[in-house]
Structure 1
Amino acid sequence: MLKAVDFARGIGCDSFVAVGGGSVIDTTKAAALYCSNPDADFYDFVCPPFGKDLVPQNPMLPLIAVPTTAGTGSETTGAAIMDLPKHECKSGIRQRCIKPLLAIVDPDNIKRREGYEGYFSMPRNVAIYSGFDVLCHALESYTALPYHKRVPRPARPDLRPLYQGSNPISDVWSMEALRIMGKYFRRSVADSSDEEARQHMLLASTFAGVGFGNAGVHICHGLSYPISSQGKSYFDKDYPETKPLIPHGLSVVTTAVADFEFLAASCPERHAQAARQLGAEIPVQSRIPDGNKKP
């Protein structure tokens, strides 16, 4: 990310186009942000405790995002996640201004290119882990603490955090993403030439991005950062072997079962509704069992 910032500043970029997955889009967001604020230090906009989380003073240079994976939803959000090797952890930038000006969410952009196997460019494990990220984005935002229960409340609307908590607007996007996931996720993994399934997964990724970009995420993503930052020797066959990497979606879903079992008792109705959207047959009056109670 630092190399991208230095390069963009060095040539005086006045606009940006990000073509790729979440890492590419997040990197381009950072490059555009720091080019828009040429005097800023890198840690000025990074979240605490490592950064200062300052508000950018200059207007953001235009950024267009073109996602080529059905996963992160980064084309819709004001967040950019990064690895901080010096601190052996992950952190990020969260600023409304870094949301792309335009997102081109087109299934043609994830189709096979020369040198790739299968009909679509996402190898099997990339499709799986990206899909897990979509799943957790939608589930976490739908089961996040409701906006009206978050305290302390800011004194002015412009001081509200980027992530508001679950709310009637984010619920619409998250629930529709879950519905699509329930119908198409397995299909998109089982058959890479299933154009309908992969098109809908790309749509679900964007929908979930709008949802969690407004409501926020919680335990699954919080725990994913230490998991992924401590992966010193893991290589996945479907990802570039240039350095060890625990794919983001894998790190997120690793604790998901335990996380939602733990949280279910706090809002059982919402967990049951989410399960129904995914296709589970749960009677309307039934509740998700409390995962904290021993049998």
Structure 2
Amino acid sequence: MRTWSFSSAGTLFFGRHAVRHHLQDACERVRAKRAFIVTDSILVKAGILAQTLEPLTAAGVTFEVYDKVTPEPGVELVRECVAVARTSNPDVVIGLGGGSNMDTAKLVAMILAHGGDPLDYPGDCRVPGPVKPLICIPTTAGTGSEVSPAAVFTDTANHIKVSCLSPFLRPNFAIVDPLFTVTCPPKVTADSGIDALTHAIEGFCAVDNEEFPLPSGEKSVYQGKNPMADAMAQRAIMLVGKFLRRAVKDGNDLEARDGMALAGTLGGLAFSNAGVALVHAMEYPVGGAVHVSHGAGNGLLLPFVMRFNLNHRVPETAQIGVHLGKIEGNGMIELAESAIREIERLREDIGIPTRLRDLGVTEEMLPGFAAKAFAIKRLMRVNPRMPQNEGEILDIYKAAW
């Protein structure tokens, strides 16, 4: 049996009012006196930032706020945020918001510690050591960035999203308060929720840990399927099946918000150990070329990739349907196909786009997308069915177009 490991954020606090009760403690445990908060203007207007500042003030922590993060941030924004942070000289960096805000905070913490430019670090295990103390507080339910070792931003010159992967990018503290997601609008709730499902499914259907194709001398944060990641992924899938439609329909449904907040975190724990794969590799060039959220892009591509992988993950795909609660069929293949159809129904019910052409993608873009996706080997090797060439990926894009 091949050895596997399981990692998370240093400490996870979860529950209603978790920020009020635990942010002061987190700051004290890293001996912070000056905080740099990375967030966005929407959360300022919604009063979420004010709720976050209260325990900081009570702890005697001074702070500076950068509230200009935009969805799917480009490298220029990250550089600007780093420049502001340098003048603040913080003891701790706090990422408050969705995945874009938390990922930007991770990049700031990394560059404050090690210098350089954001584009120096994309890839696996290229961060040379610990980063500035980092606290992540999600206000969406889905990205899992609060517990993950990944930070994603857009390389605007090359029109592709890139990811820095390092165990040093896991936050010291993740504080998940489902009440912070109540103001999240339906579209963002849907996009982040389908992202949580994608994370859980890619982690659950990843290549087996014992077969993970890591070349000699290379390091990888991802390591393929293992029992702990499987347990997290399956629970996340069940929660999404039960609560995502409800959370999109009624943002004040607190039971649904609790369930989806947990689904997002569990999905993050699953994928950040097992890995994400072909769905993410294919979404990166799409998201870098057209204006679509990472979650919506993943949700669009997910059923098409699942069909590509199906013969290599029939039992797992059937089990996904069982966890979602709505499948029918006689035999494993029929159950697995029914599971994919249920994901398509869920996608349509919550308003996720179903065709690349609806995002403004032209057919002429697809070969370039396929070349870029095929080049992301660190994700390709996690997929249970390794694409053999760009043409196989192009066929999936064409089916989704």
| Range class of TM-score, shorter chain | 0.7 to 0.9
1:180-221 per-position Cα deviation (integer Å, ceiling 9, x unaligned): 111111111122221100111011000000000001111211
The structure 1 residue matched to 2:135, chosen from 46, 60, 64, is 64
Secondary structure at 2:325 match in 1: coil
Aligned to 1:131: 193
Letter in 2 for 1:42: P
Structure 1 residues 261 and 63: CA distance shift in structure 2, 3 A: same
- Alpha carbons of structure 1 residues 57 and 259: separation in structure 2 relative to 1, 3 Å: closer
What amino acid is aligned across from residue 63 of structure 1 in structure 2? L
**Counterpart code for 1:69:** T
Q: Which residue of 2 aligns with 1:239?
A: none
After TM superposition, where is structure 1 displaced by more than 4 Å over at least 4 residues in a row? Answer: 282-285, 289-292
Out of 261, 273, 284, the position equivalent to 1:225 is 284
Shift of 1:247: 1.2
Identify the residue that residue 76 of structure 1 maps to in structure 2: 147
- Cα pair distance change 1:85/1:153, threshold 3 Å: closer
1:68/1:215 CA distance change after superposition, 3 Å:
same
Give the aligned partner of residue 86 of structure 1.
157
2:107 is aligned to 30
Structure 1 position 255, deviation (Å)? 1.5
| 8 Å CA contact 1:72, 1:130 repeated in 2 | yes
Q: Which residue of structure 1 lines up, in the alignment, with residue 176 of structure 2?
A: 105
Q: CA deviation at 1:230?
A: 1.1
The unaligned stretches of length 5 or more in structure 1 are 48-52, 111-119, 232-244
Quote the residue 1:267 is aligned against.
313
Q: TM-score, normalised by structure 2?
A: 0.62
In 2, the alpha carbon distance for the partners of 1:280 and 1:78 equals 33
Map of 2:36 onto structure 1: none
What residue in structure 2 maps to residue 148 of structure 1? Answer: 210
Counterpart contact for 1:80–1:93, Cα < 8 Å? yes
Q: Which residue of structure 2 lines up, in the alignment, with residue 184 of structure 1?
A: 243
Q: Distance in 1 between matches of 2:294 and 2:241?
A: 21
Give the match for residue 46 of structure 1: 122
**Helix, strand or coil at the partner of 1:86:** coil
Cα distance in 2, alignment partners of residues 184 and 54 from structure 1: 35
Q: Distance in 2 between matches of 1:154 and 1:208?
A: 29
Matched, 1:20 2:79: no
- Tell me, what secondary structure is at the counterpart of 1:254? helix
Query: Which sits farther off after the overlay, 25-34 or 274-283?
Result: 274-283
Is contact 1:176–1:204 with CA below 8 Å preserved after alignment? yes
Matched-pair identity in %: 32
The amino acid across from 2:270 in the alignment is G
Say which SS state the counterpart of residue 270 (structure 1) adopts. Answer: helix
- Aligned equivalents of 1:285, 1:54: Cα separation in 2: 42
Q: Name the residue aligned to 1:114.
A: none
Q: Which residue of 1 aligns with 2:226?
A: 167
Aligned with residue 268 of structure 2, among 189, 209, 214 = 209
Quick check: 1:64–1:103 contact (8 Å CA) kept in 2?
A: yes
Q: State the partner residue of 1:256.
A: 302
CA distance in structure 2 between the partners assigned to 1:269 and 1:129 by the alignment: 27
Which residue identity lines up with residue 107 of structure 2 in the other structure?
Answer: A
Question: Is the Cα–Cα contact under 8 Å of residues 318 and 337 in structure 2 kept in the other structure?
Answer: no
- For residues 266 and 58 of structure 1, the distance between their equivalents in structure 2, rounded to whole angstroms, comes to 37
SS state at 2:130 partner: coil
How far apart are 1:58 and its partner, in Å?
4.1
**More helix by percentage:** 2
Distance 1:59 1:213 in 2: 18
Matched residue pairs, number? Answer: 261
Identify if the C-alpha distance between structure 1 residues 285 and 166 changes in structure 2 by more than 3 Å, giving closer, same or farther.
Answer: same
Asked whether the equivalents of residues 44 and 54 of structure 1 are also in contact (C-alpha less than 8 Å), the reply is: no
Aligned residue for 1:6?
A: 83
SS of corresponding position for 2:267: helix
TM-score between both structures, scaled by the size of structure 1: 0.83
Are the equivalent residues in 2 in contact too, given 1:272–1:282 (CA < 8 A)? no
Q: Which string of whole-angstrom CA distances, capped at 9 and with x for unpartnered residues, describes residues 141-194 of structure 1?
A: 101111111124556xxx641011111110010000011111111111122221
Do the aligned partners of 1:133 and 1:252 also contact (CA within 8 Å) in 2? Answer: yes
